Structure 1
Amino acid sequence: MGMTMTQKILADHAGLSEVKAGQLINAKVDMVLANDITGPVSIKEFDKAGFDKVFDKSRVSLVMDHFAPNKDIKSAEQCKTCRMFAKRFDIDNFYDAGDMGIEHALLPEKGLVASGEAIIGADSHTCTYGALGAFSTGVGSTDLCAGMASGMAWFKVPSALKFELKGQLPPFVSGKDVILHIIGEIGVDGALYKSMEFTGEGVKSLSMDDRLTICNMAIEAGAKNGIFPVDDITREYMKGRVDRPYKEYAADPDAKYEKTYTIDLSTLRPTVAFPHLPENTKTIDEAKGVKIDQVVIGSCTNGRISDMRAAAEILKGRRKADGIRVIVIPATQSIYKQCMHEGLIDIFIDAGCVVSTPTCGPCLGGYMGILADGEKCISTTNRNFIGRMGAVTSEVYLASPQVAAASAITGEITNPEEI
């Protein structure tokens, strides 16, 4: 029986000729990743287990992105733990304040993940790298500890859902709208422990940033991973970034999928997820008019240069609404510099926005934009659970950079087509 793209990668990394859904395997991993929240837990378990070396210092990444620059003593101690571990084992890929970016934007940018590789990270949005045709998934900190020491991880091979994409995205619709539409259709557990495999002629119309956004939020449908086929757009992205051989996998023609969904990209509308689940979606036509207090443009979902450009295009020459706080967070230092060179930061500041150093910050209610009692925020982040960004009575609405920027101008959820 044929295998899906994900199953082929896992079989190869497990040294098996084939694997089947539900099978337990032990597989090699090409990269293990932790951040300043999950890293200290993994390091504590690493030391507790008596490990005295990492499996490969070039295949461990520690990114200080959630509470860095440190917001308090506890976060400073967490980063210190990771810093000392990195120094002890001479970790090649340790990124601290000044060098770091939001981890799931930074690793692809640095060429640390590539097509055909298997990546585990102690962060649920590690599934982002499926955009490059890799198998990547989030794991617990103890599993990551074992991965750092052995370069291995165990998996239950996931079954798969196929998403057949056709057509092209209309103006003001992006990868964020695609994945919100899908989650709205199948629900937050619609892909529970399954592989979301995207295919079809519509794939070629999606930029790499669109694909990264879509795979980033696969976990919001409960998926084990999301993955795109490798094509010229993938190869062009990796060119000049990935300095090692990589392998391209493709699903077999007779691969088995639990269900196939057909998505006509040309019919999609800007989409907003209402509180308090990403599945609670409405088109912009249904969503517009909700009054907001804050706008956040950034995160591992939508903090890339294309997101910055899309927001700036709408904000240029305009001013945010009175009483609205607008926080813009480029996802990496490189993106921050690019924003400077292209004049985007001038546009943001002239519009009355706060421009932050790269950080996860407000996405997880960390800092740089905590919500007070009853406040509402439209955000380009990936989760809108109760209390996600602050007070349990606050509300988070998920949307694309275009919708967020348009809403910043009016002070309410707004169709960017009408700005």
Structure 2
Amino acid sequence: MAFPELNKHLIISGADDDDNNKEEEEKMNIGKNQVLVKVRAFSVNPLDAEVARGYLGKFLPRLDGGKGGIGLGKDFSGEIVKLGRGGGDGGKFEIGDEVFGAISAADFRNGTMAEYVLVDRKQLMRKPKRLTHKEACAIPFAAYTAYACLRTTGCVDRKDPKRILVFGGGSAVGECVARIALRSGFASTVVATAGKASKQMLMEDVGVERVIGYENKKKDGEMKNQDHGDSSSSSSSSGSTTSSNSSGSSSHNSGDRKTSEVREGENFSAKNSRFVDDAEPSFDVAIDTVGSAKTKFQAAKALKKGTGTYITLHGDMAQLIGESGVLRGGAQASLELLREKAFARLQYDIGYDWGYANANDFDATNLIEYLVDKGFLSVKVYDDTKHEQSGPFLGLESVERAFKALGDASKKGKIVVEMPL
């Protein structure tokens, strides 16, 4: 394959431009220990959507040095077309190898929504032949985030497996947390919450001990909260019974399945969740991909006092740095994190932290590559070929549609864009 002189990629060119989302061509200069990959597919992450909407604000000119914008995209899968000088990988990769990976969340000058992407060879993972590029590129960024929450922030270890609670198990990160924790021996138990029935079934397939389902569809003025044990079924048996409690809600018991109903407008609290009702706080780590006040409160009630840790993916660091710059925004974020830590300790006697992806963690890279190769780690991908009336997401021109799909809760799975051959 010929080495390309120019690369077409998507950039955000500045908050004041009329056309903020642009295509641009750049000269390709490969550095030492870098690898040039022809992108065959890339995924669309919430971070990309936030950047595209301009949340970096006035910090944008400082990110790109006034030289034409910042790149979009973090995950990719593709084919190596050129290797830079240096042998940091011990000759692991060659031209023509199919690989996948992610770039750093803090690398805004690079982007994977492009024809080609330059990456450090230590960030590359070999793509198994059984996976398509579409399937492979959906994994890395979510997996790096999950690993960081478990190991870096949650401090879980194979020598002392933990009881882990995952809020939003049906999300890409939630799925990766469950799979990595169970397959790597980091967890003795994983319990996950999930919304739609399809996501609850996904968590059961992953092998979590219990799935707590929240069906937010309102029917006859009520919202349902479902709790599934290991042997729960998707429908109630004819022998179910109904009982009322003092709050006006009712519960339907059928085998291992319990359903409690909360009237519309009633505050949803941890008391509605069976993992709090049935036992004393017993979880070591709670990882929250939802980031609501409700999930934070539920986690506080479910975590062990003194030793439990709550980790949320919805920290304010990126937003504050984007709005105020590295120094001022970083200082504001540090103060906000300290305030949250102090409140969590004083109010609930638990730890508190923010979780972020770290694509520069080579231990994470090695583990993710191993789990993917063995078939233990995967992420559900949205089937755009079946459900998109305008056709599948193909090429850079389809990114705008992909962003819209990302914000549509009815789309099941990771949003991925394939590049034409």
Verify same fold: TM over 0.5.
no
**TM-score normalised by L of structure 1:** 0.25
- The structure whose Rg is larger is 2
**TM-score normalised by L of structure 2:** 0.25
From the two aligned structures, give the one with the greater strand fraction.
Answer: 2
